[in-house]
Amino acid sequence: MITVAAHPYPYAFPPGRTALVVIDMQRDFVEPGGFGAALGNDVARLQAIIPAVAGLLAVFRARNWPVIHTREAHLPDLSDCPPAKIARGNASPRIGQHGPMGRLLVRGEPGNQIVPALAPMDGERVIDKPGKGMFWATGLHEALRAEGISHLVFAGVTTEVCVQTSMREANDRGYECLLITDATESYFPQFKAATIEMLTAQGGIVGWAAPLAALEAAVA
């Protein structure tokens, strides 16, 4: 076991049964012209974590530990996207409509791809998820169980939406979860802070949190 100095107490994980999950570091959320910007958000906050996510990927890749990338992505005919999701909010353009990087949140479009600096490598799993959480309608849980994965390390965006939803889903399925605090971000700093508090409250009711430096020190 490898033990990381984490909050609310040390997080121990078995290297052979631990995977990294990078949530939705796709152009639609991180770059100007995507869905995040269409909602009126400052995407620069999300762009700022790219170096930390890259550093986290380097830790796992150097040791050949499993890496999973997710994308919030819908079928071109939007048959997997509830009408209420399309209608919600004041985005212009909306999900499925054309923006500067193609149709927003649609599989195969340029904006739906992972940002180049964090592009998946050969052999790394890429999950297209129609919802906020990474397990719904993806078959990922069954695949991870078949591979003996019991621990998950999380990064990505946004902290309070897709990252939190995925981490809570993982907790309900019995995974031991660690969130890397400087490798996740929100368009709203107060939302990130509150989410980390909620996830780690009550003795780690959902999981643990630690900075990248703590993980790097532990695996070194």
Which residues are tagged catalytic? 24, 129, 162
Q: Where are the alpha helices (DSSP H) in the chain?
A: 27-30, 35-38, 44-47, 50-62, 83-87, 140-146, 164-172, 189-204, 212-219
Is the CB of residue 43 less than 8 Å from the CB of residue 100? no
Q: Is 151 helix (H, G, I), strand (E, B) or coil?
A: strand
| First-last CA distance in the chain | 13
Q: Which tokens in the block code for residue 95?
A: 């999900």
Q: For residues 118-127, b (16+ Cβ closer than 10 Å) or e, as one string?
A: bebeeebbeb
Cα-based distances in Å from 13 to 10, 39, 54, 207:
10, 38, 21, 12
d(CA 34, CA 47): 13
Phi first, then psi: give them for residue 167, nearest 5 degrees.
-70, -40
